[in-house]
Amino acid sequence: MRLSEILDGIRDGAADSPGVMAAIKEAVAELRRNGTGLHALSVGEPFPDFMLPCPTGHLVERDELLEKGPLVVTFFRGHWCRICVAALDSMLECLPAMRAEGASLVAVSPETSGNALRPGFKAPPGFRFLSDVDHGLALACGVAFKTPAAYRSLLSRDKLDLGERQGSSSWFLPVPATFVVDREGIVRWSFVDVDFTRRAEPDDVLAALRALPH
């Protein structure tokens, strides 16, 4: 099943809670009015250098990863987000095909330490989960945004404390964004959409990897 079909099902389920959908639509409309994501990293630009911790505290560098091959970098809001989990699970299902193209998958999340991974999760070969401390990489990629008031109220109503999960009181989140980066560190394909109910299709990511020169 394509990811878009899975997300359609999640949206249909959320439609049974009018207050939830209203808050999401209001938040997305505000992000569009504010021009959020318009200055996101573009194809042909270098992907920002980074050194970010994995859940065990080991620091991982961009160039260390690129030495092994191209990267698929996807921004992940947190495990509290059903759509984020569905999108990442779909990417992980596609990981063997990505590895066949010599690529690695990197999920970047503002969540830190014990909040970063699901209990019992074991990262498969070729996958890294990194904590974007203080949203530095999301800001450098132009995909960070201040959570709109309507959506913040929705999260607070659900007892979700972003400050506790992120180790920061900024209430920033990343726009759904996925980048294919070649071995020279140049972005060759991207997906950026302020509507956080929509995500990059893994098949499209795989097609972009296969189009890279070998």
pLDDT score, position 143 = 96
pLDDT score, position 118 = 59
Phi and psi at 7, nearest 5°, equal -70, -35
Integer Cα distance of 91 and 68 in angstroms: 19
Q: For residue 83, what are its two tokens?
A: 């759509």
Model confidence, pTM? 0.92
Residue with tokens 């509290």: 80
Express each pLDDT in 144-161 by its tens digit: 998 888 888 888 887 877
Integer Cα distance of 152 and 157 in angstroms: 9
- How would you write the pLDDT of the chain (214 residues) with one tens digit per residue? 799 888 888 877 765 566 777 888 888 999 999 999 999 999 999 999 999 998 888 899 999 999 999 999 999 998 888 899 999 999 999 999 999 999 999 999 998 865 556 555 677 889 999 999 889 999 999 999 988 888 888 888 878 778 778 877 788 899 999 999 999 999 999 999 999 889 999 999 999 999 998 7
CATH number belonging to domain 3-210:
3.40.30.10
pLDDT score, position 199 = 96
Contact indicator for 40, 177 with CB cutoff of 8 Å: yes
Contact indicator for 199, 88 with CB cutoff of 8 Å: no
For the chain, the domains span 3-210
Contact indicator for 108, 60 with CB cutoff of 8 Å: no
3-state secondary structure of 127: strand
pLDDT score, position 10 = 82
